[in-house]
Amino acid sequence: MKIKENFIKENKKIRIISNGGNPSPINEDWRPVLSGCEMLVIIPDMHMYIYNHNNLDNFKYGAEAMLSFLDHLDTLKEEMDMEDKTLRIYQLGDLYELRFPGLNSANATATEIRLSHPNYDQIVNTMEGMQTRFLYGNHDFESRHFPRFKCAALEGKVYIEHGFRGDKWEAFSNPDAPLWEIGQLGFLAIRELNAKIAALAVDANIIKPDENFAFGVQSGENPIYDYPSEQDYLKEYGDTFKYYTERLQNIPDDEGIKICVIGHTHHPYINTDINDGKNIYIDAGAWTAGRSDFAVITNEEVGICCYKR
């Protein structure tokens, strides 16, 4: 199946952003790379937070677009079902932002977030209705307690994981690394301070009550559709890149993993020439802070796309 003909079709809101706007072909010797499905759509970090709460919610700007995108997927999935073909959808983790303050306790919970706005609930319900497979990330790490959320997945020759495992301990973003719990305590304290300063700024008419004011996070009000610099990716996320490419290199050939997909960095990136052409590395980007990226994989092509609001 082809990305442009069979996935995008007539939908003018979808655009391939990687490889100069064209799908990257998959090595013919690897085909088929998928098993059990003909098309794989991978939705990266969303960071849904309690709607408009504490001026820290920046998912809201992309929520309508997400519902529109899910409607496209729902229709496509049904059309493919009729042809006895399967569209499989993954959410790469960080579906929820549980690291920010909650309504009734220190941190937000999944239910508080989902029920904070009808659109948020509908997004999760639509995903579930399409049998989306959920992974957990570092911002919704608690989801690992529930059977529907997995750490990683293997779809044929495609390995899928959130992507936090390559982070060093000092980033406090890797739940497997030392001092994670202490780091989270500090992080939550910063966000509580953030919320208090935002409240003061609202009172002083510096920002509006519904304006995003999260330290270090882009508001998301303005959409970002570009494909950022590949050099910047290697510079800023070199550790992540190195960790996963080394893991790919160490996998024996007979295990057959050819493609690795992660998220976590919020920086879309694709490299089809990993380990001397043995592997493909994809960072699916993010659907938050203005971005609306996702990855599409068929047996013939891969690509990172964005969805216009």
Partner 1 sequence: MKRIEYISSVLVLLFVVLINGCTEYPAIQEPDMDRFNQTVHSPALRDSLLAGKLTTGMPYFVASQLFEDWTPSIMEIKIPVASLGSKQRLKETEGLGRDYDDPDIKVFLDEYETEKGKLHVWYQRPDFYTMDVSARDTLCIFLEDTVICSVIKYLTKSSMLTIKDSLPQVSQDTNIYAEVRYKNHPWRKSSYWYALKILNHGRTFKIKALNFEIYPIEILEFNGKSVSSFNWR
Footprint of partner 1 on this chain (CB under 8 A)?
A: 70, 74, 78, 82, 95-96, 98, 102, 105-107, 109-112, 114-115, 118-119, 121-122, 124-126, 128-129, 142-143, 145-146, 148-149, 181-182, 184-185, 188
Q: Can you read off the two tokens belonging to residue 137?
A: 């990330």
Which are the contacts of 226, defined by CB distance < 8 A and separation ≥ 6?
A: 17
Nearest residue (CB) to partner 1, 66 versus 260: 66
Give the nearest distance from C-beta 124 to partner 1 in angstroms.
7
Provide the minimum distance between the beta carbon of 86 and partner 1 in the complex, in angstroms, as a whole number.
14
Minimum Å gap between C-beta 125 and partner 1 is 5
If the CB atoms of residues 182 and 193 are measured against partner 1, the closer one turns out to be 182
Residue 71 or 239 having the CB closest to partner 1: 71
Q: Which is nearer to partner 1, 29 or 83 (CB)?
A: 83
Question: To the nearest whole angstrom, how small is the minimum distance from the Cβ of residue 191 to partner 1?
Answer: 12
CB of 135 to partner 1, least distance (A): 13
Output 27 or 125, the one with its CB closest to partner 1: 125
Q: How far is the CB of 121 from partner 1 (least distance, A)?
A: 4
CB nearer to partner 1: pick between 171 and 206:
171
